[in-house]
Each structure stands twice: as structure tokens, then as C-alpha cells.
């Protein structure tokens, strides 16, 4: 492991890594930590040559850049190495030079969260924990449950009683120990925190635990490698707590330190207009203020983001931008990704493409630039909104004459 220590994102004090502390002891719960890497040592074992000879078909091919010893990674679910598709159709529609889609819905439990869960579970094992806990309404929970099941680790997962059925079904199938809390998400989060303190579970609460960001950075490492270390001008993704976008920045930052890329792409942070605390703070130049959570994109309905410093830094240090998109544009993007390329995105995942359109309308992304959009989760997570985006099928009696009379097939095949 090539880690030099922790540094607090607020007070910048440094701490040794050999402890299981999660946040800065001086700054408290908001004192999110950065993990500092020893790039000189990493260069010795990780470079384009070693990578080209490494046939590991998962995110563990980047283990030299992860804050874990990573022994026994072969037993984990296969997380990462998801496809990167170039979309000729979507790029010519908007006069982009290139548009790539990174489909992270293809991870084992259907979202990018698997990258964080895998590293969190490795770290929990290395610190000697046998039970991992988190609170979440969705992807973080099902991801933790699935990846822990494979490893035989116990989970205790807190969800609000009204959590979406599909995601609860994943939890139950993966055999998680689920506590459905009769209360809202804030109360669920607080109960999980109290239980973690009382019983001493490993805490996978996203945004707080710094190894999450490092797991998620593997998506950026993959994008770079898949593009032969010449990343696009922009990388766009949706933002809730801010852990994922912080990870994307860290991944490109690492590669820049190692001399494997010559610039960090501009990062476009996308939020829904119904819940856009980062966009508002960026536009007004003011502090981050709590926002209402009024969007159908449940995975980014985060009114009080828990990882603000890493998220803001990702956009400002990369020379990127923040945009907000209406829910209707998110639904439209679900349809375009599906019909143009066969990629099925959940609302929060399609928001990245809607954000690119919005940024082009605002003159932020220019024609002929190159863009990568990250699809962070599978549309099968949320079929109700998928049907809202795509509509209902034509309904027909089981009778060939009725079918012919309807003119539907003639219309489908263009002979109407
Ligand atoms: C969690 C999640 C996000 C946002 O990630 P944050 O780290 O909360 O900013 C975006 N899309 C999907 C599908 C997610 O599950």
C-alpha cells in the first residue's frame, strides 16, 4: 500500500493512516479527510507498461493506487472495467467532435457505487471488522449488500420505511440485515450513526468515509486507459453528496502526478433543478445552503451534501462548471441513451447527458469539443420513471387482421 497519511480538507492537519479514524478529530463530522499517496513509490510498480501486461479484468487492476493492501481481491465480485462506447449518433446530433458513454450501470449490482463498496469492504477486512453498516435509500445500500454477500461479511443496513421497492428487493435477495426505519432519511441516517457508535460496525456511509472517494476514482482511471491516456475535453456526471465527482477528479489527478496524462479534463457537475445546492452556491458565489429534495432523480436528491469540499474542488481545479437540469430533460435523456445506443440509465445516471445539452445551450461546452458522460446506474433500478420517459407499448388483440387494420406494423417499418 502506497499511502502517506490523511489530510483534513478543512484544517489541513495530517494524520497517520494506520488507524480506523474516518473524519478529522479536531473538525468533527464535517472534517472529511483526503488520503495522501506516495507517487514516487507508485511509479515503480504502476505505469503504462505494467498496466499493459496486467490482465486483471476488474477495478483491482488499479490496486497500486488504492488505499488498501488488496490481498484476496480475486474473491470479490467483478467490479469495474465497464464499457466505454462512442456514440456517433448523439455526437452528430449536437455537433460534438466525440461523445463517449461510460456505462457504469454494468457493475454487478447495477451502479457505480460498487467501486466504493469493494474498497470499503477490503478496508473493513484489513481493519478486522466482520460487520459493515450504512444508511441509504438506494444504490449504496444494495451495492454494499451484494458485495458483502460474496465475501461472507455481515451487513446492517438502515433504510427509510418508504424506500423504493426495487432497491429493497435487492437488499433482501442479497441477505442483508435490513432495518426499515419509521421516519425520514435524516432520522434514518442518525439512527445508523448511533447504532454504528454503539455496536462498533465499520461505517460505509458515503461522503464521510474517505476510502469511498478512492474506490470511485477507478472510473476515471478506466476512462483514461480506455481512451489511450488522452481523455476528452470534458467529463460529465451527476452529483448528490459529492463523493463520486471528488473521486473522478482524484483519479485524473493521480494520473497527472504519475505523468500518464498531460491534463485533467474539465469536470461538469450536473444536478437536478429540484435539488441543486452546488449549482446555486457556484452561481451566487455564496456558501453551500441546504436545498429542498424535489426531483425524480432519487440518487441525487441530496439537500445537504456530505462531501462539499471534494466536490467543489473537482469542478474548480479542473476548470469545469456546474449546471442544473429540469426533470423533463432527464427523462428525455433516458430516452435518447436508450434509443440511440441501447444504454439503460436510471434518472440520476441520465442527468449527465442532459447536463451536457444544458452546458452546450449555455455556451459552456463548445461545439466540436470532446465529452465523456458517465452513466452511474442502471435503469432497471427505477422502472416507473423509465416508463414515464419512454411511454407505453401499442396494445393489440391477438389477431392478424386487427394488427393489419391498425396500420401499426406498416408505421413501424415505414411503409405507411
Ligand atoms: C450515488 C449516485 C450518484 C451521485 O453520487 P454522489 O457521490 O452522491 O455525489 C449519481 N448517480 C447515481 C446512480 C448514484 O447512485
Query: CA 19 → CA 119, 128, 401, 414, distances in Å?
Result: 16, 12, 73, 66
- Kindly report, residue by residue over 133-161, the tens digit of the pLDDT: 998 868 999 999 999 999 999 999 998 88
User: Per residue in 327-347, is it b (16+ CB within 10 Å) or e — as a string?
Assistant: bebbbbbbebbbebbebbbbb
Q: Is residue 343 part of a domain?
A: yes
Cα 77 to middle of ligand 1, angstroms? 20
Residue 94 lies in a domain: yes
Ligand 1 contact, 241 CB (< 6 A)? yes
On whether both 310 and 369 belong to a single domain, the answer is: yes
Q: Name which residue leads in pLDDT, 39 or 209.
A: 39
- Strands lying side by side in the sheet with 33-37: 14-15, 3-8, 33-37
Q: How does residue 188 score in pLDDT terms, banded at 50, 70 and 90?
A: confident
Q: Are 103 and 13 part of one and the same domain?
A: no
Query: Are 31 and 90 in the same domain?
Result: no
Q: For the chain, give the mean pLDDT.
A: 94
The predicted structure's pLDDT at residue 345: 97
Looking at the structure of the chain, the number of domains it has is 2
Q: Give me the CATH number covering residue 278.
A: 3.40.50.1100
Q: Using CA positions, which residue lies closest to atom 14 of ligand 1?
A: 299
Q: CB burial class (10 A; 0-12, 13-18, 19+) of residue 165? A: exposed
The answer on 32 and 97 residing in a single domain is: no
The pLDDT tens digits of the residues spanning 391-411 come to 999 999 999 999 999 999 999
Q: Are 286 and 362 found together in one domain?
A: yes
What is residue 206's predicted lDDT score, i.e. its pLDDT? 67
Q: Is 382 in the pocket of ligand 1 (CB under 6 A)?
A: no
- Say what the pLDDT of residue 416 is: 65
Whether 248 maps to a domain, the answer reads yes
Q: State mean pLDDT over 51-56.
A: 96
- Same domain for 102 and 29: no
295 lines ligand 1 (CB under 6 A): no
Sign of CA dihedral 364, 342, 140, 264: negative
What's the rounded Cα separation, in Å, for the pair 129 and 135? 18
Looking at residue 70, what DSSP letter applies? -
Do residues 269 and 331 both lie within one domain?
yes
Q: Which atom of ligand 1 is nearest to the CA of 212?
A: 7
Q: What is the pLDDT of residues 255-289, one digit of tens each?
A: 999 999 999 999 999 999 999 999 999 999 999 99
What pLDDT score was predicted for residue 164? 74
Angle (CA) 46-259-243 rounded to 5° is: 80
139 lines ligand 1 (CB under 6 A): yes
Show the domain range for 29: 1-37
* 348 Cβ below 6 A of ligand 1: yes
Are residue 28 and residue 92 in the same domain, yes or no? no
Indicate the helix (H) or strand (E) that contains 88: helix 88-93
Tens-place pLDDT, residues 72-127: 999 999 999 999 999 999 999 999 999 999 999 999 999 999 999 999 999 999 99
Residue 69 lies in a domain: no
Same domain? 216 vs 299 = yes
The Å distance, Cα 52 to ligand 1 centre, comes to 30
Examine the pLDDT at 196 and tell me if it is beyond 80.
yes
321 lines ligand 1 (CB under 6 A): no
349 lines ligand 1 (CB under 6 A): yes
254 closest CA partner among 37, 6, 33: 37
For residue range 219-259, list pLDDT tens digits in order: 999 999 999 999 999 999 999 999 999 999 999 999 999 99
Q: For the chain, what is the total number of helices (H) and then of strands (E)?
A: 17, 13
Q: Which 3 state secondary structure label does DSSP give 135?
A: strand
Residue 19 is assigned to a structural domain of this protein: yes
**Mean pLDDT along residues 371-392:** 94
In a domain, 251, yes or no: yes
Q: In which band, very low, low, confident or very high, does the pLDDT at 298 lie, cut at 50, 70 and 90?
A: confident
Sheet with 84-86: strands ordered across: 84-86, 98-103, 370-375, 234-238, 266-272, 321-325
User: Looking at ligand 1, which atom is closest to the CA of residue 242?
Assistant: 9
Q: How many alpha carbons fall within 13 Å on the CB side of residue 36?
A: 13
* 152, part of any domain: no
Residue 18, classified by CB atoms within 10 Å of its CB into exposed (0-12), middle (13-18) or buried (19+), is exposed
Quick check: is 194 in a domain? no
The predicted model gives 369-394 an average pLDDT of 94
Beta carbon of 377 within 6 Å of any ligand 1 atom: yes
Residue 207 has pLDDT above 80, yes or no: no
Residues 6+ apart with CB under 8 A from 186: none
DSSP state of 273: T
Amino acid at each position: 500500500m502506497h499511502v502517506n497519511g490523511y489530510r483534513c480538507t478543512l484544517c489541513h492537519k495530517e494524520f497517520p493512516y494506520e488507524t480506523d479514524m474516518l473524519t478529522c478529530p479536531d473538525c468533527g463530522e464535517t472534517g472529511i479527510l483526503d488520503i495522501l499517496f506516495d507517487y514516487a513509490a507508485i511509479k515503480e510498480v504502476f505505469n503504462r507498461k505494467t498496466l499493459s501486461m496486467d490482465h486483471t479484468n476488474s477495478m483491482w487492476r488499479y490496486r497500486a493506487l488504492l488505499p488498501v493492501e488488496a490481498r484476496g481481491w480475486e474473491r470479490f465480485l467483478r467490479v469495474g472495467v465497464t464499457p466505454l462506447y462512442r456514440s456517433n449518433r448523439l455526437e452528430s446530433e449536437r455537433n460534438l467532435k466525440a461523445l463517449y458513454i461510460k456505462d457504469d450501470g454494468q457493475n454487478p449490482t447495477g451502479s457505480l457505487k460498487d467501486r466504493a463498496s469493494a474498497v470499503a469492504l477490503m478496508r473493513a477486512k484489513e481493519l478486522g471488522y466482520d460487520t459493515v453498516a450504512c444508511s441509504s435509500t438506494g444504490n449504496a445500500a444494495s451495492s454494499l449488500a451484494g458485495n458483502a454477500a460474496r465475501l461472507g461479511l455481515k451487513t446492517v443496513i438502515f433504510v427509510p420505511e418508504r424506500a423504493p421497492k426495487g432497491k429493497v428487493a435487492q437488499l433482501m435477495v442479497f441477505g442483508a440485515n435490513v432495518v426499515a426505519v419509521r421516519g425520514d432519511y435524516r432520522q434514518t441516517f442518525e439512527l445508523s450513526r448511533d447504532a454504528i457508535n454503539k455496536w462498533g460496525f465499520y461505517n460505509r456511509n458515503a461522503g464521510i468515509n474517505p476510502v469511498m472517494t478512492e474506490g470511485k476514482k477507478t472510473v476515471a482511471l478506466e476512462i483514461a486507459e480506455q481512451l489511450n491516456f488522452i481523455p476528452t475535453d470534458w467529463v460529465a456526471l451527476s452529483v448528490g453528496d459529492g463523493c463520486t465527482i471528488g473521486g473522478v477528479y482524484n483519479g485524473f489527478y493521480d494520473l497527472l502526478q504519475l505523468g500518464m496524462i498531460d491534463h485533467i479534463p474539465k469536470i461538469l457537475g450536473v444536478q437536478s433543478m429540484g435539488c441543486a445546492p452546488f449549482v446555486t452556491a457556484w452561481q451566487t458565489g455564496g456558501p453551500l445552503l441546504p436545498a429542498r429534495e424535489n426531483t425524480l432523480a432519487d440518487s441525487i436528491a441530496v439537500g445537504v451534501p456530505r462531501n462539499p469540499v471534494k466536490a467543489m474542488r473537482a469542478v474548480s481545479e479542473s476548470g469545469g462548471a456546474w449546471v442544473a437540469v429540469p426533470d423533463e430533460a432527464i427523462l428525455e435523456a433516458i430516452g435518447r441513451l436508450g434509443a440511440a445506443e441501447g444504454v439503460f440509465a436510471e434518472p440520476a445516471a441520465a442527468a449527465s447527458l442532459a447536463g451536457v445539452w444544458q452546458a452546450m445551450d449555455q455556451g459552456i461546452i463548445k461545439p466540436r469539443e470532446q465529452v465523456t458522460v458517465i452513466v452511474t446506474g442502471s435503469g432497471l433500478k427505477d422502472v416507473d420513471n423509465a416508463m414515464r420517459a419512454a411511454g407505453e407499448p401499442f396494445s393489440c388483440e391477438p389477431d392478424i387482421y386487427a394488427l393489419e387494420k391498425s396500420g401499426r406494423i406498416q408505421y413501424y417499418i415505414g411503409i405507411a
